[in-house]
Structure 1
Amino acid sequence: MTVSVGPTPVHQPPNGSGTVTPAQVLRPHAEEAFAAELAALAAQDDRPRPTRWRLSPWAVATYLLGGSLPDGTVITPKYIGPRRIVEVAVTTLATDRALLLLGVPGTAKTWVSEHLAAAVSGDSTLLVQGTAGTPEEAVRYGWNYARLLAHGPSRDALVPSPVMRAMADGMTARVEELTRIPADVQDTLITILSEKTLPIPELGQEVQAVHGFNLIATANDRDRGVNELSSALRRRFNTVVLPLPQTPEAEVDIVTRRVRQLGRSLDLPAVPDGVDEIRRVVTVFRELRDGITTDGRTKLKSPSGTLSTAEAISVVTGGLALAAHFGDGVLRAGDVAAGILGAVVRDPAADRVVWREYLETVVRERDGWADFYRACREVSG
């Protein structure tokens, strides 16, 4: 149903309640999508919890890594990787140091950040998205200019940032792509993280952080030199590096799990198990990323793109949509070939040479890959 309000139509939620349920949202927040798991963990979590934490550090780690609870509840893994990395990240949030998740693109930094905030504070939405245009107000506070002009500076006219709200409520704030933020804006975090206070000089006041407050930042280590962190700011963080999956099997597992989740959220028709094609996509990405074939016999040129696990997930998800809507429902080489080409060939001149050489010297000669070779040749032109 559409209700006209002036020239812009307003779409009412299909449940008629005037609110949108998590099931109707394209991408629910972590605390909504996994509410049942978080509730089950909270009910059976008898370990000490830091002030204002929803779960104990042990339960937070279990939520991210997965496991089974005494009552039989299965907690699905949100992150597949070394357990110690998660334990160090969780422990950092229980101290007075902020957490910096560092890694190449596609290593689940944002994903881990969101789930940590959801498990610790029950709210992953206190988020500052870093870009080249992120202003200081996004980190500190802004003003409601109508009230400011009418009544002058006051707390009613002040618009708190997500970081300020987290400080006041003892919650976990998130800053994504920290190194994309201009250096002078980055440095507004120094006082917040060292003194645990945010001055408001216009009012002669300050907001002091209460127990439970901390901050998770993410940064792409490919962005070094863009807006590199000052040494003063870097000292305020405990840095945890998220690695790429160590083995092909681990990467296949990650891609398979995420593709299933995305397929359900996007209402893609169910298709038979496509693990064979997923394994081929992962193999191609890993070989080109590492610059050597899996058997170690052939050295390869690497393309300019990152060929991350996240991009592999995107390629397979797109292939599933093609198979379901325009194919016979079975994921085949032709469904993923165009996605792989788009991921590999970012620089039309240099990357196309790398890709064609890989096809002719590796894929063409590989047993059982004839269909994949034909499909890739067809879309490569």
Structure 2
Amino acid sequence: MTVPETTTVSAHKDTSDALRPHAEHAFAAELAALAAADDRPRPARWLLSPWAVARYLLGGTLPDGTVITPKYVGPRRIVEVAVSTLATDRALLLLGVPGTAKTWLSEHLAAAVSGDSTLLVQGTAGTPEEAIRYGWNYAQLLAHGPSREALVAGPVMRAMTEGATARIEELTRIPADVQDTLITILSEKTLPIPELGEEVQAVQGFNLIATANDRDRGVNELSSALRRRFNTVVLPLPATADAEVDIVTRRVDQIGRSLDLPAVPDGVDEIRRVVTVFRELRDGVTADGRTKLKSPSGTLSTAEAISVVTGGLALAAHFGDGVLRPADVAAGILGAVVRDPAADRVVWQEYLETVVRERDGWKDFYRACREVSA
């Protein structure tokens, strides 16, 4: 089966100097190998079959020996439901606490389905309706009035005309009246252009992925009419410490290679320590279940653990011996835990003195944390 034209064009862009290449460029070899080996039915304008999209996300080894690295570490069924939703006329809403890989998963889904993850609307409190619908080239508008030449298509309109996957990040941060612009798009698959007396009809292959942070409930809650247009998939935090260590290690390794930082294997012990601290404070209990703890105000997500370890690797590379040590991650952990200087500092100090101080093999970590906390 042939690769969609939009994918072919996107794949040939020069991204050799990109600090963070888009998923379709960073994993182009894997996507090409999957496309070559994929003999299952593909929905219209999909780069891969739903089965191959799931394999791309979950990882595995192809018959020719090509290793597909996992992009999402979590329950297989979540990925299968997300992929199968995109193969229907229902839009997909990825919901979860901060740091549960909502954006990461949406990017890779779009890359594997359409070969283009860049049709993106970033939701904020100031996102205008034009960002979702369309805007105007005002020079053309003033000179010639409303016309197709003066119209500037937004990412969603482009996805509709190309049969691609659009993405909207942080949907619940967008004002409610702007959110509701999506209702007609998702239900009727059309986008009216009243200024021209026309409409854009979505072609086969079009769908939309939105993400939302469940900590934002009550900010701009989705209307019931809009929520019905989505199939909601809730992304959980990693179920086990081993799974979270694996996620952090993989992502830090990918980021580190692009920044010429030290190899991750030299710092696996510190990664596990960071993950342990985050999980215990997040859960309000030590890993052995014996000691109850107060939880700080922050989320202490996997994404924040990745940030702490990456920052620690940079310290080790530029101001140390290249090996990740407790002193390299201590300041990052303090910054992640103590968001509210008054309340969170008390939580952190109690944790240091009652848990970290008494834990075997953690003396260097305790001293490093005490030093930055003083």
| TM superposition score category, shorter chain reference | over 0.9
Cα offsets for 1:110-138 (capped at 9, x unmatched): 00000000000000000000000000000
Counterpart for residue 326 of structure 1: 319
* Structure 2 residue corresponding to 1:128, chosen from 96, 100, 121: 121
Q: Is the 8 A contact 1:98 1:236 kept in 2?
A: yes
SS of residue paired to 1:22: coil
* Structure 2 residue corresponding to 1:37, chosen from 21, 25, 30: 30
Q: What is the CA-CA distance between 1:186 and the residue it aligns to?
A: 0.2
SS of residue paired to 1:40: helix
Q: Is the 8 A contact 1:272 1:330 kept in 2?
A: no
1:223 aligns with 2:208: no
Cα offsets for 1:49-87 (capped at 9, x unmatched): 000000000000000000000100000000000000000
Q: What is the CA-CA distance between 1:23 and the residue it aligns to?
A: 2.2
Counterpart for residue 297 of structure 2: 304
Counterpart for residue 191 of structure 2: 198
* Structure 1 residue corresponding to 2:307, chosen from 305, 314, 319: 314
Counterpart for residue 288 of structure 1: 281
1:93 aligns with 2:86: yes
Q: Is the 8 A contact 1:61 1:87 kept in 2?
A: yes
1:151 aligns with 2:134: no
Counterpart for residue 234 of structure 2: 241
* Structure 2 residue corresponding to 1:57, chosen from 38, 50, 54: 50
Q: What is the CA-CA distance between 1:21 and the residue it aligns to?
A: 2.9
Q: What is the CA-CA distance between 1:265 and the residue it aligns to?
A: 1.1
Cα offsets for 1:272-296 (capped at 9, x unmatched): 5211100100000000000000111
SS of residue paired to 1:273: helix
Q: Is the 8 A contact 1:270 1:324 kept in 2?
A: no
CA distance in 2, matches of 1:327, 1:111: 31
Q: What is the CA-CA distance between 1:271 and the residue it aligns to?
A: 6.2
Q: Is the 8 A contact 2:262 2:323 kept in 1?
A: no
CA distance in 2, matches of 1:79, 1:296: 28
Q: Is the 8 A contact 1:271 1:324 kept in 2?
A: no
CA distance in 1, matches of 2:264, 2:113: 36
User: Closer, same or farther in 2 for the Cα pair 1:319/1:327, shift >3 Å?
Assistant: same
SS of residue paired to 2:93: strand
SS of residue paired to 1:99: strand
Q: Is the 8 A contact 2:183 2:229 kept in 1?
A: yes
Unaligned runs of 5+ in 2: 1-11
Q: Is the 8 A contact 1:180 1:227 kept in 2?
A: yes
Q: Which amino acid aligns with 1:70?
A: P
CA distance in 1, matches of 2:64, 2:333: 43
CA distance in 1, matches of 2:57, 2:217: 28
CA distance in 2, matches of 1:138, 1:86: 28
What is the aligned length?
A: 363
Q: Once superposed, which parts of structure 1, at least 4 consecutive aligned residues long, lie more than 6 Å away?
A: none
Q: Which amino acid aligns with 2:107?
A: E
Q: What is the CA-CA distance between 1:167 and the residue it aligns to?
A: 0.4
* Structure 2 residue corresponding to 1:169, chosen from 142, 156, 162: 162
CA distance in 1, matches of 2:52, 2:237: 25
Counterpart for residue 65 of structure 2: 72
Cα offsets for 1:242-295 (capped at 9, x unmatched): 000000000000000001000011122446521110010000000000000011
CA distance in 2, matches of 1:272, 1:313: 14
SS of residue paired to 2:266: coil
1:113 aligns with 2:106: yes
1:351 aligns with 2:344: yes
Q: Which amino acid aligns with 1:244?
A: L
- Measured on the aligned residues, the alpha-carbon RMSD in Å equals 1.0
Q: Which amino acid aligns with 2:254?
A: Q
Q: What is the CA-CA distance between 1:197 and the residue it aligns to?
A: 0.2
CA distance in 1, matches of 2:306, 2:79: 22
Q: Is the 8 A contact 1:272 1:331 kept in 2?
A: no
Q: Is the 8 A contact 2:249 2:264 kept in 1?
A: no
Cα offsets for 1:224-253 (capped at 9, x unmatched): 000000000000000000000000000000
CA distance in 2, matches of 1:28, 1:42: 20
SS of residue paired to 1:274: helix
Q: Which amino acid aligns with 1:180?
A: R
* Structure 1 residue corresponding to 2:251, chosen from 247, 258, 261: 258
CA distance in 2, matches of 1:212, 1:204: 25
* Structure 2 residue corresponding to 1:339, chosen from 325, 332, 335: 332
Moved more, 268-277 or 135-144: 268-277
Counterpart for residue 9 of structure 2: none
CA distance in 2, matches of 1:40, 1:271: 27
